[in-house]
Structure 1
């Protein structure tokens, strides 16, 4: 089990360094356990995560793994983007999320920080779970709790949630009452709502989709069955949903945070000043 730490109440350099060091020790312990069980892939991933330059606010290697990593100086950042990933993201498949966070941090410059929030067990892209809100419903309280903790620790920072694919449903479920400036849905299969109004948030809600994103072909329906509802609802980029639109370029489903892309520049502008 990870070491027990109190909530982060101040994003001072000393507080952050102490937390990063504690989580590094947790990751190294998990690496030793994975190596002892012969799980070379997990051990290699954890070895990379335990590098002295990495900055983890939280880590839990149990049940598939959870982590929250910071890119940049959270103690000085005036703008903070929280990346909420979608399906098929895990500790073993963390590279794409990390690469996107690095690219966004570079685009934001010195005044910005990025947080990669892998705080839930993501569904598989080809799985029954990706068609329902179950995983998102369980993840949303964790995301809401983290967002509140972050806004308390960094009260002067402008915080934006950047929510990719199934992660957009997680953000939508957590949206009500969050003290964030923006909720950005991109590559979204649906937010489990028919309109922005149903999210009950004062944040600016944005939506964008790349011209070659296969998610456009996903039916935007919700079908109630005996024990669950299948489908994730209205298309967030549709006019009727009511989100602010941004230029997501012509990329595919995994290209939104690609260095040099139109979508990356748009996302950075939203995080920077609330304009696309």
Structure 2
């Protein structure tokens, strides 16, 4: 049955046209040439990337693409803080929410399929909801005296980073069934985490929160990655059969909402049409070995929904309040 379903998915991906494939290239400037960021140069990076987004918006508008022009224009707003912006193709963007220069608790979100500059707003909304929840939990802690990652006894300072740093596959495509895009994404994600450490320091607590195909990316990048926690949500698998196979010292978490359709994706590797498809073991299965936490009744796109069980648990993982994470 699993092989039959995989075959059906591959066949559908081949015969169903993906609209983005036929879309004409949208002109955009080359990304701003910037050195790896430091605390002292964050504002310089933010300013340069806003200017790049503004120019990309003008070029897209002149090309007649109003949707892309509007998306780029929104990213050029003075309140937006991008470490990376690239308006070419489907686009790339790495955005900071919060005060990264002083953060000792940092969450890096990695998105799944069908993320482009046009759909980026949905991804960012999840990052914003997480930052809001972190702020509310910070205030609730009050004077409890959480020990910050840099050794001071105080309320933690948090930042959330929306890392749209790779070319995501389409949901209806052959690429979404293989690790190819994830393997391509792993080196830039590893490089970004190294650069992030250069900003926040080695003592900061960094959590990697990976959704859907983003969990395949995180699985590919996990070996030796300098993060404290990796959370796999709505995962089709990571390409590894167990936590130990990820070859990481990070604590691995996993969750799946009760109404998430991803439960129907078979957790196997299979050779079909000369290509290996599927991502192996289910991260929420006992055999995988992750810390499984509750995600409530939500569906595939609900993990960062305000007020949800999953968002609350993800925020507690980021803050290091692991004893307060509700288990499945």
TM-score by length of 2: 0.81
The superposition leaves residues 57-93 of structure 1 with CA deviations (integer Å, 9 ceiling, x where unpaired) of 0011112100000000001111100000001111000
CA distance in 1, matches of 2:208, 2:291: 14
Please give the residue correspondences for 1:48-127 in structure 2 after superposition, counting only pairs within 5 Å: 48-109=74-135, 111-127=157-173
- Runs of 5+ unmatched residues, structure 2: 1-29, 139-156
Contact 1:182–1:274, Cα closer than 8 Å, also in 2: no
Give the secondary structure class of the aligned counterpart of 2:39. Answer: coil
Specify which of 44, 54, 68 is matched with residue 18 of structure 1.
44
Q: Do the aligned residues in 2 keep the contact of 1:123 with 1:130 (CA within 8 Å)?
A: yes
CA RMSD of aligned residues (A): 1.1
State how far apart, in whole Å, the 1-side matches of 2:33 and 2:321 are.
36
Deviation at 1:227, TM superposition (A): 4.3
Does the 8 A contact of 2:72 with 2:87 survive in 1?
A: no
Query: CA-to-partner distance for each residue in 1:113-170, whole Å, 9 max, x for gaps?
Result: 1000000111111211111001101011111100111012111321000000000000
Q: 2:243 aligns with which of 196, 199, 206?
A: 196
Residues 236 and 243, structure 1, Cα contact 8 Å, conserved in 2: yes
Distance 1:101 1:122 in 2: 18
- Higher radius of gyration, 1 or 2: 2
Query: Which has the larger displacement, 218-227 or 154-163?
Result: 218-227
Cα separation, 2, equivalents of 1:20 and 1:79: 20
The unaligned stretches of length 5 or more in structure 1 are: none
Matching of residue 4 in structure 1 with residue 33 in structure 2: yes
Q: Which residue of 2 aligns with 1:161?
A: 208
CA distance in 2, matches of 1:256, 1:35: 34
Match of 1:131 in 2: 177
Would you identify which runs of 4 or more consecutive aligned residues in structure 1 move more than 4 Å?
Answer: none
Corresponding position of 1:149: 195
Distance 1:218 1:145 in 2: 31
Residue 174 of structure 1 corresponds to 221
Cα separation, 2, equivalents of 1:271 and 1:153: 18
- Kept in 1, the 8 Å contact 2:106–2:318? The answer is yes
Residue-pair matches, total: 273
Contact kept? 1:20, 1:57, Cα under 8 Å: yes
For the Cα contact (< 8 Å) 2:207–2:230, is it kept in 1? yes
| Alpha-carbon distance in 2 for matches of 1:171, 1:184 | 9
2:264 aligned with 1:264: no
In structure 2, C-alpha distance between the alignment counterparts of 1:66 and 1:177, rounded to whole Å: 24
Q: Distance in 1 between matches of 2:50 and 2:180?
A: 31
Shift, 1:233, TM fit: 0.9
Compute the displacement of 1:228 (Å).
Answer: 2.7
State whether residues 220 and 233 of structure 1, in contact with CA within 8 Å, keep that contact through their aligned partners in structure 2.
Answer: yes
